[in-house]
Amino acid sequence: MIAPINQAIYFHEKYGSDIVLLHVESELPFLQKWFPSRIKKHRKKALKKFRRQVKHFFPEHPLLKQFEYELVIGKLIPSILKVSARRESDLLIIKKSRRSHGKASIFRKENADKLISDSKCPVMTMFKDPEIKGINRILLPVDVTKNSDKKVAWAISLAKKFGASIHVVSVQHLGIKRVHSLSHKKGRRIARVIREHGINVDLVLLKAEQRTADEIVLDYAEKLKPDLLVIMTHQETILFDNYLGAFAREIVHQSNVPVISVVPQKESLILNFLESMETREPVLQ
């Protein structure tokens, strides 16, 4: 609870956005659903407990009275997505546990995967409370297979608001000369756009060395110690509306720093995107 709320507070301080604290209660037993009085009583009790927990972790906080609380009863992921869509939220912030492993784990789609795959807005995931307040360094991996306009727009917006630098990383496979590397060419274009916005930017080319792109990016992140990773998540195909790609999935589940997973869109860079962030609110689980 603490880490997502702290992140939401950072965003509020920079964007002035509203903070909605969402708690999802498990569905009531079948028989209790037929008694509205019991549902009302259960909801009231759960909401009171939720408010008490928040106050316990954030006593005397100046924003405590500005938090908006919402409690819904139902399945976790559908409930979060429904509230997010209704509020037209710009960002979902959640804290997740490490990915489960086991014989059957490959057949299970984790809650974070489901949420990111179906969300209409970006999702920030984290495992723990960041050590440093705010965002000073942003890591931006290059993906040649996707339209990165919205991801770059998010990184630029965050860098401007937080006064952060952006570190663009492209991964080059062995046997490909630097001048012919599509990822490096795209990285240079992205770095140029970022620089035009007056933001300090670094462009780093990393060698694949028979490793996957996610392994290389995560290793580099351990050395750089960024405060945030910004990635593109969905891949559109003929068979599926969208899905969480292998690279994005590994970054989300293995990164030790918060990750913002951005939903791609077909149009070019949104010029008014930087302003749109200032008028809407993040929703927290």
Q: Kindly state the average pLDDT of the residues 23-52.
A: 76
Give the range of the structural domain holding residue 280, as residue numbers without chain letter: 2-284
Helices (H), 61-110: 76-87
- Comparing 264 with 125, the larger pLDDT belongs to 125
Q: Kindly state the average pLDDT of the residues 140-157.
A: 80
Question: Which of 34-43, 198-207, 220-229, 273-282 is least confident?
Answer: 273-282
CATH for 240: 3.40.50.12370
Residue 187 has a pLDDT of 85
Distances from the Cα of 184 to the Cα of 141, 142, 154, 278, angstroms: 11, 8, 20, 32
* pLDDT exceeds 60 at position 267: no
Q: Which residue has the tokens 């909401």?
A: 47
pTM for the model:
0.80
Residue 56 has a pLDDT of 87
**What is the distance between the alpha carbons of residues 247 and 244, in angstroms, rounded to a whole number?**
8
Based on the structure, what is the number of domains in the chain?
Answer: 1
**What is the distance between the alpha carbons of residues 190 and 152, in angstroms, rounded to a whole number?**
7
- For CA atoms 119, 123, 125, 129, give the dihedral sign: negative
Which pLDDT band holds residue 87 (cuts at 50, 70, 90)? very high
Q: Which residue has the tokens 């990822």?
A: 183
* pLDDT exceeds 80 at position 29: no
